[in-house]
């Protein structure tokens, strides 16, 4: 195709896309957090009531869906890395030097609990108000069965001892899917599971050398792990892992799925991405004004979500279904995948513009034909993006 015609198509797609994408991206709105301190974690018990925590022990709470945020006294000035509430009254936050703070009245008062570890804690999760776990530096995993009145070292931490002593493993996230079953992930592709409340842990081989930053299991048999360069691993929790790369080359820091197939990831430079098909395709929902790192995401209901990040950033999505309607207006399939010499695109729109990018985001192929050669590409993973009528959709494919 003539180069000028290609440029005209790109310009038309961009201009019409501005209207659609403004409506699409405008669904995530920035809230006034009242702070510029870095925020590391967010927890909501319903669409209106939630808490955030972060640098220097900051904890803030909202009861009106983020319209206003009240500062709470956290009983510590140490940085808090994770926060979790099981209901409107009971919550825990963990952080630097093994600090744990707990509230039984929604944060009106916070008191410290004895963690029995001096190591930084990066993650905390409770299945109910009594059964909980926390984990962090040196592979330490601690657990409680009485709401944190007593924390004990889990026998699975640090390759069996749980003390964390002399171990360079860092556990960065964890989730309990029942009172006895839980998953942890962390440095150097570490992933482990317990089915007996942490008495023993079984490490699973993920074949990943990079750090898993976050995990989320929408159900016991389906989980997602987010990490470097827009990479996501899907797992059944029993040793099977599938790569479902998000459409970005930026590191991912947070993940949350509202169902087994529909979920969000967030990360560096304000990246926000959505999938409706279990990671096969992704759409971008970045906000132009947000370029700082986004660290955590949660959805108290399928259509209402919150994101936190550096410099006090808090974002809210008020109607998650609107995003899916716009996104699904453009669909396509490609075959074969993996492919060796040629690929074919089938789409529900006419005259698409098709681009292929490598994992760094560099465009390596640009075509207007739905059937074309990819023989010039080196073997590896790529993203293929289809533009048409102001809409865009992205999938990953493997070049053999």
Tell me if the pTM is above 0.85. no
Among 139, 167, 143, 166, CA closest to 153: 143
What is the structure's pLDDT at 347? 77
Exposure string over 142-152, b if 16+ CB within 10 A, otherwise e: bbbeebbeebe
What's the mean per-residue pLDDT of the chain?
A: 87
What is the structure's pLDDT at 21? 40
pLDDT at residue 10 greater than cutoff 60: no
Lowest-pLDDT choice from 177-186, 358-367, 368-377: 358-367
Among 233, 267, 263, CA closest to 249: 267
What is the structure's pLDDT at 322? 53
The torsion defined by the Cα of 339, 249, 254 and 321, in degrees rounded to 10, comes to -70
- Across the range 355-365, mean pLDDT stands at 83
pLDDT at residue 358 greater than cutoff 90: no
In the chain, residues under CATH classification 2.60.40.3080 are: 3-20+329-399
What is the structure's pLDDT at 325? 40
What is the structure's pLDDT at 389? 66
At residue 157 the predicted structure's pLDDT band, cuts being 50, 70 and 90, is low
Among 32, 82, 35, 54, CA closest to 298: 82
pLDDT at residue 217 greater than cutoff 60: yes
Counting Cα atoms < 13 Å in the Cβ hemisphere of 290 gives 28
Q: What percent of the chain has pLDDT over 70?
A: 86
Of the two residues 1 and 382, the one the predictor is more confident about is: 382
pLDDT at residue 81 greater than cutoff 80: yes
In the chain, residues under CATH classification 2.130.10.10 are: 28-327
Which stretch of DSSP H or E encloses residue 3?
Answer: helix 3-25
DSSP-assigned beta bridge partners for residue 387: 353, 392
The beta-carbon contacts of 61-69 under 8 Å, at least 24 apart in sequence, are: 61/106, 61/107, 65/304, 65/316, 66/31, 66/306, 66/314, 66/316, 67/31, 69/31, 69/32, 69/33, 69/34, 69/35, 69/314
12: three-class secondary structure by DSSP: helix
Q: Cβ contacts of residue 47 below 8 Å, gap of 6+? A: 65, 300, 301, 304
pLDDT at residue 357 greater than cutoff 70: yes
- Give the Cα separation of 94 and 351 in Å (integer): 53
Among 319, 154, 44, 21, CA closest to 53: 44
pLDDT at residue 264 greater than cutoff 60: yes
- Across the range 270-286, mean pLDDT stands at 89
How do residues 280-334 score in pLDDT, each as one tens digit?
888 888 888 899 999 999 999 999 999 999 999 999 998 876 554 444 456 677 8
Of the two residues 141 and 160, the one the predictor is more confident about is: 141
- Across the range 376-398, mean pLDDT stands at 81
What is the structure's pLDDT at 265? 96
How do residues 365-379 score in pLDDT, each as one tens digit?
988 888 899 999 998
- Cα torsion angle, 266, 270, 276, 281, sign: negative
Which stretch of DSSP H or E encloses residue 312?
Answer: none
Lowest-pLDDT choice from 62-66, 175-179, 186-190, 365-369: 365-369
**292 vs 213, 255, 312, 318, CA distance in Å?**
17, 17, 10, 22
**136 vs 36, 81, 117, 140, 163, CA distance in Å?**
25, 10, 10, 6, 11
Of the two residues 168 and 105, the one the predictor is more confident about is: 105
Q: Which two tokens stand for residue 109?
A: 């008062």
3-20+329-399 architecture in CATH? Sandwich (2.60)
Lowest-pLDDT choice from 121-130, 219-228, 278-287: 278-287
Q: What percent of the chain has pLDDT over 90?
A: 64
Structural contact between residues 103 and 111, judged by C-beta atoms closer than 8 angstroms: yes
- Across the range 49-78, mean pLDDT stands at 97
pLDDT at residue 383 greater than cutoff 90: no
The topology (CATH level 3) of 28-327 is: Methylamine Dehydrogenase; Chain H (2.130.10)
Lowest-pLDDT choice from 22-26, 85-89, 187-191, 358-362: 22-26
What is the structure's pLDDT at 25? 42
């Amino acid at each position: 195709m003539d180069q000028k015609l290609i440029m005209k198509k790109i310009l038309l797609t961009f201009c019409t896309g501005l209207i659609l994408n403004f409506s699409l991206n405008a669904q995530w709105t920035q809230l006034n957090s009242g702070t510029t301190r870095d925020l590391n974690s967010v927890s909501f018990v319903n669409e209106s009531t939630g808490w955030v925590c972060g640098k220097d022990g900051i904890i803030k709470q909202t009861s009106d869906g983020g319209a206003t945020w009240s500062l709470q006294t956290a009983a510590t000035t140490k940085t808090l890395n994770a926060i979790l509430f099981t209901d409107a009254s009971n919550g825990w936050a963990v952080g630097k030097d093994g600090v744990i703070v707990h509230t039984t009245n929604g944060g009106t008062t916070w008191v410290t609990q004895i963690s029995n570890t001096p190591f930084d804690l990066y993650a905390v999760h409770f299945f109910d108000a009594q059964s909980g776990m926390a984990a962090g530096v040196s592979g330490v995993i601690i657990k409680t069965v009485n709401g944190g009145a007593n924390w004990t070292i889990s026998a699975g931490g640090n390759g069996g001892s749980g003390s964390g002593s002399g171990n360079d493993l860092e556990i960065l996230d964890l989730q309990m899917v029942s009172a006895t079953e839980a998953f942890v992930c962390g440095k150097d592709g570490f992933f482990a599971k317990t089915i007996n409340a942490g008495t023993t842990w079984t490490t699973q081989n993920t074949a990943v050398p990079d750090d898993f930053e976050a995990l989320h299991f929408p159900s016991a048999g389906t989980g997602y792990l987010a990490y470097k360069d827009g990479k996501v691993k899907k797992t059944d929790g029993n040793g099977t892992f599938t790569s479902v790369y998000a459409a970005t080359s930026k590191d991912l820091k947070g993940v949350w799925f509202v169902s087994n197939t529909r979920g969000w990831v967030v990360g560096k430079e304000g990246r926000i991405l959505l999938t409706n098909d279990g990671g096969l395709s992704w759409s971008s929902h970045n906000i132009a004004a947000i370029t700082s790192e986004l660290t955590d995401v949660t959805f108290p209901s399928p259509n209402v979500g919150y994101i936190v990040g550096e410099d006090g950033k808090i974002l809210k999505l008020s109607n998650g279904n609107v995003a899916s309607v716009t996104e699904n207006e453009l669909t396509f399939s490609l075959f074969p995948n993996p492919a060796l010499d040629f690929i074919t695109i089938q789409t529900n729109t006419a005259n698409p513009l098709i681009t292929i990018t490598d994992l760094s985001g560099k465009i390596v192929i640009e075509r207007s034909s739905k059937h074309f050669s990819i023989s010039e590409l080196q073997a590896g993973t790529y993203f293929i993006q289809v533009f048409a009528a102001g809409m865009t959709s992205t999938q990953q494919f493997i070049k053999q």
